[in-house]
Copies of this chain bind each other. A is one copy, B any other.
């Protein structure tokens, strides 16, 4: 397990970084997506009758393409697969991805047999397959994508999803939070390349720092367990298991032909491998945010600093419910805070309430430093309600507060994260987006809900506790 199969690495590199692509069927859709995204290599549309699509010459047969092709995207009826795979192999194409349906997911004997035949043929001819019934690959570094509206910015999350919907949704919602991807693969029926193959690739992929997965079911349970178990030792693995409830499990079987596995089985899997379990795509992004943007706190004791006491109460509850602790400060911290806080309407306890005028630069500069120096505190959460801050402060004052927050956070000895809210009009949203961008640039994780922040960081800490405990046991 320690050394990755060279065949697999090079197969997947061909898929992630193809030097040229053939589009066979579904021309308008896929040519449009790739051109819009800016795929830099040659694109060869193939169709028996068409002549041109989006200004590109259409080849009437794959064999007419004069150059070599690395990857093919196949949108042809399932029944044509055996012939087209032979054509691909003859042309030297190394891998195909395909959104085509009508295979094992249909639940029919015919569909299952066709899928088995197709994968046997592809393997015999040396063609690797992703899918079918999948959207395929998003790799911003190589200019490859499976949908409109995804960022060209590359990042460090390697993501796999058995579902196309949950592939596009997660990439998009993560992008909006400033989280970017090394690769994302919507892999559907997994007839050839499977979850464990991609995770094995991510293990040694220098561009991937954390692994995230939406899984409906696995066909090779032992291999999957071994791969994830090995990967999680060095790179965190976050899994959203779809279909954990009984009705959900029934739904996955008609979606990707997967056998889901019971909730007990999966609970044991998470516990034994040190894999992080999440229950929604939003939570997956919240956990990824912590891994990408902060160093791990030494413990679970959080100091809360912010504006709006009612928000502080709810954030405190959210932290305690996520098994974090919000302990009272040392007396000296409390006294220090009292000196910089307004005499009334503020609170020097944990959570610190800056009082009106809500947050202040001095609270950020001095207050946050005082809290970070408290030996009872392992990390800090700052919360700012942009709406309410604007009630008491000008836009310029608010920008100054954010700037002070960012400049002080970089100089503290303990990690911090920030929860930023904004609900109303465009002005507040621009301010929020601006503040979010600045914080992320400064390496400060940004959340928009209390629950998201608390669960995200708690699961981040859990991963490190798990691996630390294993190391202590000499594992």
Instruction: List A residues at the B interface (Cβ < 8 Å).
Output: 29, 78, 99, 101-102, 105-106, 133, 147-149, 161-169, 172-173, 175-176, 214, 216, 240, 242-248, 250-252, 254-256, 279-282, 307-314, 316-321, 325-328, 343-345, 347, 349-351, 353, 355-356, 385, 387-388, 390-391, 421, 423-425, 428, 449-451
Complex CA–CA separation, A314 to B379 (angstroms): 33
Complex CA–CA separation, A411 to B252 (angstroms): 31
Q: Are B169 and A320 touching (Cβ within 8 A)?
A: no
Q: Which residues of chain B are within 8 angstroms of A425 by Cβ–Cβ distance?
A: 149
Q: Which residues of chain B are within 8 angstroms of A423 by Cβ–Cβ distance?
A: 149, 169, 172-173, 175-176
Inter-chain pairs besides A147-B391, A251-B351, A280-B451, 11 sampled, C-beta below 8 Å:
A99-B356, A102-B345, A106-B344, A147-B388, A163-B313, A165-B309, A166-B308, A168-B388, A169-B311, A169-B385, A176-B424
Number of this chain's copies in the assembly equals 2
Q: Which residues of chain B are within 8 angstroms of A318 by Cβ–Cβ distance?
A: 280
Question: Which one of B172, B282, B310 lies within 8 Å of A387 (CB-CB)?
Answer: B172
Would you give the shortest CB distance from A102 to chain B, in whole angstroms? 4
Q: Which residues of chain B are within 8 angstroms of A317 by Cβ–Cβ distance?
A: 242-245, 247-248, 279
| 10 A-B residue pairs with CB within 8 Å | A99-B356, A161-B310, A169-B388, A242-B317, A246-B320, A248-B320, A248-B326, A251-B312, A255-B347, A256-B309
Closest to A216 in B: B313
Complex CA–CA separation, A246 to B325 (angstroms): 10
Closest to A247 in B: B326
Known A311-B166, A451-B280; contact A325-B247, beta-carbon cutoff 8 A: yes
Complex CA–CA separation, A165 to B314 (angstroms): 11
Complex CA–CA separation, A312 to B255 (angstroms): 9
Complex CA–CA separation, A272 to B87 (angstroms): 71
Would you give the shortest CB distance from A339 to chain B, in whole angstroms? 16
Q: Which residues of chain B are within 8 angstroms of A247 by Cβ–Cβ distance?
A: 316-317, 319-320, 325-327, 350
Closest to A424 in B: B149
Q: Which residues of chain B are within 8 angstroms of A449 by Cβ–Cβ distance?
A: 280, 282
Q: Are B280 and A314 touching (Cβ within 8 A)?
A: yes
Q: Are B387 and A149 touching (Cβ within 8 A)?
A: yes
Closest to A390 in B: B148
Q: Are B314 and A242 touching (Cβ within 8 A)?
A: yes
Closest to A324 in B: B247
Q: Which residues of chain B are within 8 angstroms of A421 by Cβ–Cβ distance?
A: 169
Q: Which residues of chain B are within 8 angstroms of A326 by Cβ–Cβ distance?
A: 247-248, 251
Q: Which residues of chain B are within 8 angstroms of A345 by Cβ–Cβ distance?
A: 101-102, 105, 133
State the 9 A-B residue pairs at the shortest beta-carbon distance, nearest first: A163-B310, A165-B308, A101-B345, A245-B320, A172-B423, A102-B344, A149-B424, A247-B326, A166-B310
Q: Are B248 and A309 touching (Cβ within 8 A)?
A: no
Complex CA–CA separation, A117 to B162 (angstroms): 66
Most buried by B among A101, A325, A450: A101
Q: Which residues of chain B are within 8 angstroms of A245 by Cβ–Cβ distance?
A: 316-317, 320-321
Q: Which residues of chain B are within 8 angstroms of A279 by Cβ–Cβ distance?
A: 317, 321, 451
Q: Which residues of chain B are within 8 angstroms of A327 by Cβ–Cβ distance?
A: 247
Known A316-B251, A349-B250; contact A391-B148, beta-carbon cutoff 8 A: yes
Would you give the shortest CB distance from A307 to chain B, in whole angstroms? 8
Q: Are B308 and A163 touching (Cβ within 8 A)?
A: yes
